[in-house]
A and B are shown apart, each in its own frame.
Chain A
């Protein structure tokens, strides 16, 4: 196990991402930040808060659970826990930024795109990622990247956030024989 990011670095990176969003979006009125459950959701909240601190503008947030849109359900041997989906304002003609902790195969992002389109037709959808670890299996490219961390397939990247895990950090774990 190795630590790839500590709390200070995570805070700095999130601040940079908030600035990047503002740089690319002079108008924040149409923006919505939607976090993919589970750890994308608190990250979206934090970025929205940072934008408020920087620019004094509220950017609404939401959360999205992608379980019902996964492409591997009949291949895995358990029932994933379904978390809340909270998209309370219409996303039609809005600019949605999807937020997730780790980008890996791209399958979660694909599922999130499909799920999102069932809620409406945004004008544009972008993807913000805290850690991009590579190994894409689908043509998915993030618009905002916190940190690129090259990994091997035998490794697992775990993002911890205060809201859920009571601390902020990113660690990398070698998979053992039992997958852990």
Chain B
């Protein structure tokens, strides 16, 4: 496999072989996290800028740790204490940082397509860390890695994604990835939060969680993004919980060994009941650990060779 890409923008662009190659590469980084010295010198001398225009805990810390584990020099940028407040445009901000000779940008932005636009403009690597409701490729890759680790395969698995599909970049990236790896994907949520054209992506949509859960191998619960719910797309949090929370009784409809996943942060008591915290099928914290490994692999693949 020859991985020659400059950027990681989304799973829509990646081929099945490329996805497998990334997952296999990530596997080789697993050992490093369990060592006494959790750091290898492979990308010594490279500089990465983490540009987060939207709030983030997990993704940002995970990228920063992955970078440090590979001996990369890290610059962190957040708009609240930068010249963005003085009115500097994104393009100017990037060009100015680029003039400082950096090798890669990790970018999170609320406008879909921002990383794609910048990737064409600048010669260094761009990693999409979430662009609006469009894609969140490293999250989907770590989800695929987690599923494959637990189930040994992805092909033919029944995977259900539950929640606000319409506003979810995690759902979109996962649908691209899962369908490319030939999983059978279902989505479920209130009709107002399921895009009408979603079935064109090769998934089946359900409005009843009970129906959707029948016989699934993996359940991916999405966070109810309260900050994006301003248009009254469902009546109330309580009603959402009644219909779409993964209660113990509903969980029985899925396969006995079905994985419970969530990209975080979890609204405990909304999409997932507190009891799920102790459920042994819950792999949510495993996803977090795998996130570092996946991001190390991506950085290695993009920056670790002459292009």
Contact = CB atoms under 8 A, between A and B. Distances in A.
A119 B305 contact: no
B280 to A, nearest CB: 27
A79 B301 contact: yes
Contacts of B28: 65, 67, 82-83
A76 B306 contact: yes
B2 interface: yes
Interface size class of chain A, counting residues whose CB lies under 8 Å from the partner chain: 20 to 34
A76 to B, nearest CB: 6
Interface in B270-307: 300-301, 304-307
Contacts of A82: 25, 28
A115 B41 CA distance: 9
B31 interface: yes
Contacts of B60: none
B3 interface: yes
B45 to A, nearest CB: 8
Secondary structure at the A interface, as helix, strand, loop or mixed, is loop
Interface residues of B, number: 20
A114 interface: yes
A17 B25 CA distance: 35
Interface stretch (B32-40, B85-93, B184-192): B32-40
A17 B54 CA distance: 61
A74 B306 contact: yes
Interface in A52-102: 65, 67-70, 73-79, 82-85
Contacts of B35: 118-119
Contact of A75 (B32, B37, B40, B306): B306
Interface in B11-54: 25, 28, 31-32, 35-37, 39-42
A142 to B, nearest CB: 24
Nearest to B46: A74
Contacts of B1: 79
A79 B40 contact: no
Interface of B: 1-3, 25, 28, 31-32, 35-37, 39-42, 300-301, 304-307
